[in-house]
Structure 1
């Protein structure tokens, strides 16, 4: 592999890690809860069968208008 290819792969990987945003703690908490609930259901429904569960929540952005009153966590 040439040096150009190595540098390209390195900078591609670096750009992906830089732009990966950390999830809000509530989003991570919900993902863990949904994953554990789903795994419990599948284990009860299909005992002895292997499975894999992956949960990813993509939160939507709220639009703030004059009628919107924030409650709870900011």
Structure 2
């Protein structure tokens, strides 16, 4: 299990998934805790979406449907 909790810039999650490719991704929420580093909640959603984007074709993304700015940008629904 890999946990992306120590990320601080865009593409950091993507870089970590190249080291340890995920098969299941869970994004609980897209909050505002790092809004200063990312310049907005949309940018945070894109950054968190990197873990969804790294999934293989048969991977599983678990997203919080109650969180309006869901990470994944709809990509998980395309599979």
TM-score range, shorter chain: under 0.3
More helix by share: 1
More strand by share: 2
Considering Cα pairs closer than 8 Å and 6+ residues apart, tell me whether 1 or 2 has the greater RCO.
2
* Higher Cα radius of gyration: 1
